A and B are shown apart, each in its own frame.
Chain A
Amino acid sequence: MNTLEKYNKVFSESLELNIDQLSGLQYQGTALWDSVGHMTLVAAIEDEFDIMLETDDIIDFSSYEKGKTILTNSYGIEF
């Protein structure tokens, strides 16, 4: 499984969405991506990529695409 597939899997499982629903997805754009769901999603991403996100990055993590940017720029995870 490549990095993008792992990222998509975490998103789809945490937010109970199909892969084709992820592109363009924003925070609070689906029922399960509320503040509690956000922390669940963050925990799943941290486990999957063996990292711990900074608080500022957790707050900035406002969309599916933004998450990829943060992981690449701040944690060296290439997609």
Chain B
Amino acid sequence: MELSSNLLTGKVAIITGCNRGIGKGILKCFAEQGAIIYAVVRLEGSLDDFAETTSVIPCYMDITESKSIKDLILRIKKEQGRLDILVNNAGVMQDAILGMITDSQIKNTFDVNVFAMINMIQYAVKLMTRQKSGSIINMTSIMGVNGNSGQIVYSASKGAVISLTKSAAKELASQNIRVNAIAPGIIETDLLKNLSGEMYNEKISKVGMRRVGKPIDIAGTTLFLASDLSNYVTGQIIGVDGSMSV
């Protein structure tokens, strides 16, 4: 699928967790659409090659450190004077059934998936409020909507993302700042490629469209929510799952 227009020309965006998988798909899409992107990833050097040929500015940092977020927003304020789009994509997923869930797993999952997201929104809004516009897109999951066996901690964190998205949308609507979330189903990632044929087919059988999603499927919806095409859309949780049942 090709998206050929320039829907984000001149817009300043932050994308977190974008050196692989869904995040990398969004990064490529936004770069093609003309956005100036501050690409937030943890792994030092992982976006250097990509950044050489695009309008991508790699920012190697840990989003669970509040000071790093503050410094990033200050940098964008100084360099661009505005922030139009925040894509909160970074997340962790650690599966464990009841009886095997550790305190550190709960803490780590909520630190990254929820607390860092709230912090990122809180600081991003400082710039968006000044300009009275902005679009925030949070990545949740179909597991956050429906729950899933073996994923109590992960689904709880993604459920929190849904709640905070709806609350932030209400709080920021008067400032013309939109807040939406995307709930992906099964998406083609490195993890999925490692599954056995039998396990892969079992997962596919749960998807109405009988195929896994691709990062570009998520990127397309993210682009819609980031662009002016969705100017009157806020507080929505959009499933991008090919009619998956859990």
- Residue numbers of A with Cβ under 8 A of B are 39, 43, 46-47, 52, 54-55
Contacts and interface: CB of A to CB of B under 8 A. Distances in A.
A52 B76 CA distance: 12
Contacts, number: 15
Nearest to B127: A43
B126 interface: yes
B126 A52 contact: yes
A55 B122 contact: yes
A46 B74 CA distance: 10
Interface size class of B (residues with CB under 8 A): 10 to 19
Contact of B130 (A43, A52, A54, A55): A43
B129 A39 contact: yes
15 contacts: A39-B129, A43-B126, A43-B129, A43-B130, A46-B126, A47-B130, A52-B70, A52-B73, A52-B74, A52-B77, A52-B123, A52-B126, A54-B70, A55-B66, A55-B122
Q: Would you list the 3 A-B pairs with minimal beta carbon distance, nearest first? A: A52-B74, A52-B70, A43-B130
Nearest to A42: B126
A39 B66 CA distance: 19
Interface string B93-133: 00000000000000000000000000000110010011000
B82 to A, nearest CB: 13
Interface in B43-78: 66, 70, 73-74, 77
A11 to B, nearest CB: 18
Contacts of A46: 126
Nearest to B74: A52
Nearest to B73: A52
Contacts of A39: 129
Given A52-B73, A52-B123, A55-B66, 11 more contacts: A39-B129, A43-B126, A43-B130, A46-B126, A47-B130, A52-B70, A52-B74, A52-B77, A52-B126, A54-B70, A55-B122
